[in-house]
């Protein structure tokens, strides 16, 4: 057993949020692994004007305060999404608020956007700005904000020039009312406001919208319509679900919050596939939710994802998962005769 497998076992003996805090602290001291997955032209892709060395990214929520993006890139991720950051620091919900469900390969969290606010986040991103590696900023609204849409504008403008792309998170279930921003009128105001602000900037960063897996058929259609006519660059599908509890076995299955990990895979992949269909395959999609193997990542790509992200599986399997998963994905592409990942995107829609 290597040192990371051993420390992973020890960390799992601790309460989930303590283990996470300790992990981020250790990573910030440079104690993380340094994998260098061999450059593989089959996995490399230009998208949104960015050069992705591989399509497997770290999902938002692991590095909320942008403390360790370079350590995470060093684990082999092709890109890292930091945040969610809100304009002002906030404490989030009372603890305990992260629950492991090992029997189900899942996590339930109700953190509620705990973060230290824009100022330290921006400072850290500015400090690493000239380093290689794609780092995105996932932005949100403060719980007690009087104008939540304005919070996104504030964060976007404050962080311009610091991040390679922006994710507009309107899909966390843990800030009451936030998902209401997925309604067409609000969403239009938010996305048009952001693209108008971007139009005036010297750099024009890509803007992605992260959606919930709990949207019904009409909701998905409305999001597809607004996304298609608002000049945003892509969708991240999906955040955690408020449903999915029926099949769970762990004693924590009744906890309130968003469910992630294996039980989210089927639902989030179905929504992903639907969004690919509803946007005619024209809007790049990032597939997230329950990815634990190279095969899972490949299934998301075939369902319509140009890139994928994961979080929960890494907390169970440790950092060794990342190079293994990327290697398996490359093998699957090769097995099916795809010379580059972009040829496999949406393949399931073509027969
Ligand atoms: C503990 C925890 C915290 C999270 N925090 C955020 C967040 O701040 N912003 C966000 O957009 N998503 C957040 N997520 C959702 C993940 O980014 C991802 O969309 C979701 O967990 C599904 O992927 P997974 O099954 O690979 O974990 C969080 C997930 C977990 C488990």
Residue 205, pLDDT score: 97
CA of 238 to the centre of ligand 1 (A): 9
At residue 266, φ and ψ (nearest 5 deg) are -65, -45
Q: Residue 257: left if φ>0, alpha if ψ -120 to 50, beta else—which one?
A: left
Q: What ligand 1 atom has the least distance to the C-alpha of 81?
A: 17
Two structure tokens written together for 218 = 């009409």
pTM, two decimal places:
0.98
Q: What ligand 1 atom has the least distance to the C-alpha of 84?
A: 8
Length of the chain: 351
d(CA 326, CA 27): 21
Q: How many CA atoms lie within 13 A of 280 on its CB side?
A: 4
- Helix segments in the chain, DSSP class H: 3-11, 16-28, 69-73, 118-127, 148-159, 184-199, 217-228, 265-278, 294-303, 312-317, 321-335, 341-344
CA of 290 to the centre of ligand 1 (A): 10
**Residues flanking ligand 1, CB < 6 Å:** 59-61, 64, 84, 98, 107, 109, 111, 138, 169, 172, 210, 239-240, 260-261, 264, 288-291, 310-313
Residue 202, pLDDT score: 87
d(CA 86, CA 147): 13
CA of 350 to the centre of ligand 1 (A): 30
Q: Which of 172, 230, 238, 273 is catalytic?
A: 172
- Helix segments in 29-68, DSSP class H: none
Place of tokens 């949020």: 17
| Cα end-to-end span (Å), the chain | 44
DSSP 174: T
Q: What is the largest CA-CA distance in the chain?
A: 54
Q: How many Cβ atoms sit within 10 Å of the Cβ of residue 293? A: 16
Residue nearest to atom 18 of ligand 1 (CA): 239
8 A C-beta contact, residue 141 and residue 175: yes
Q: What ligand 1 atom has the least distance to the C-alpha of 239?
A: 19
User: Tell me, what CATH number does 86's domain have?
Assistant: 3.20.20.70
Angle between helices 217-228 and 265-278 (to 10 degrees): 50
Residue 172 falls in the annotated catalytic set: yes
User: Interior CA angle at 129 toward 123 and 130, to 5°?
Assistant: 145
Q: Beta strand 50-52 with 45-47: parallel, antiparallel or unpaired? A: antiparallel
State which residues form the domain around 51: 3-350
Cα 300 from chain centre = 14
Q: What ligand 1 atom has the least distance to the C-alpha of 314?
A: 26
Per the structure, the count of domains in the chain is 1
pLDDT in tens, the chain (351 residues): 567 777 777 788 888 999 999 999 999 998 888 887 788 999 999 999 999 999 999 999 999 999 999 999 999 999 999 999 999 999 999 999 999 999 999 999 999 999 999 999 999 999 999 999 999 999 999 999 999 999 999 999 999 999 999 999 999 999 999 999 989 999 999 999 999 999 999 889 999 999 999 999 999 999 999 999 998 999 999 999 999 999 999 999 999 999 999 999 999 999 999 999 999 999 999 999 999 999 999 999 999 999 999 999 999 999 999 999 999 999 999 999 999 999 999 999 997
Burial pattern 10-31, b for ≥16 Cβ within 10 A else e, equals: ebeeeebbebbeebbeebeeee
Angle between helices 265-278 and 294-303 (to 10 degrees): 30
Residue 1, pLDDT score: 56
Residue nearest to atom 2 of ligand 1 (CA): 61
């Amino acid at each position: 057993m290597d040192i990371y497998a051993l420390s992973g076992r020890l960390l799992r003996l601790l309460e989930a949020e303590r283990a996470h805090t300790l992990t981020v602290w250790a990573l910030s001291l440079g104690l993380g692994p340094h994998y260098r997955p061999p450059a593989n032209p089959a996995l490399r892709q230009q998208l949104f004007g960015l050069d992705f060395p591989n399509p497997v990214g770290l999902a938002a929520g692991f590095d909320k305060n942008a403390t360790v993006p370079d350590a995470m890139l060093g684990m082999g991720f092709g890109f890292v999404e930091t945040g969610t950051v809100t304009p002002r620091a906030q404490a989030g919900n009372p603890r305990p608020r992260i629950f492991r469900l090992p029997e189900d390969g899942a996590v339930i969290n109700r953190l509620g956007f705990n973060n230290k606010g824009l100022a330290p986040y921006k400072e850290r991103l500015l400090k690493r700005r000239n380093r290689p590696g794609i780092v995105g900023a996932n932005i949100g609204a403060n719980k007690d904000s009087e104008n939540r849409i304005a919070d996104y504008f504030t964060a976007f403008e404050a962080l311009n020039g610091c991040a390679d792309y922006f994710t507009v998170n309107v899909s966390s279930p843990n800030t009451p009312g936030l998902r209401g921003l997925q309604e067409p009128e609000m969403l239009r105001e938010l996305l048009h406001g952001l693209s108008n602000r971007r139009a005036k900037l010297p750099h024009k960063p890509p803007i992605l919208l992260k959606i919930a897996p709990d949207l019904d058929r009409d909701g998905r259609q409305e999001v597809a319509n607004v996304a298609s006519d608002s000049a945003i660059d892509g969708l991240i599908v999906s955040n955690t679900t408020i449903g999915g509890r029926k099949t769970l076995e762990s004693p924590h299955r009744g906890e309130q919050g968003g469910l992630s990990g294996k039980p989210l895979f089927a639902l989030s992949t179905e929504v992903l596939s639907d969004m690919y269909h509803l946007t005619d395959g024209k809007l790049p999609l990032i597939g997230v939710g329950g990815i634990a193997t190279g095969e899972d990542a490949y299934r998301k790509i075939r369902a319509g994802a140009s890139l994928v992200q994961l979080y929960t599986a890494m907390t169970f399997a440790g950092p060794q998962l990342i190079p293994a998963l990327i290697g398996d994905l490359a093998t699957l592409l090769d097995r099916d005769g795809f010379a580059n990942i972009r040829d496999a995107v949406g393949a399931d829609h073509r027969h």
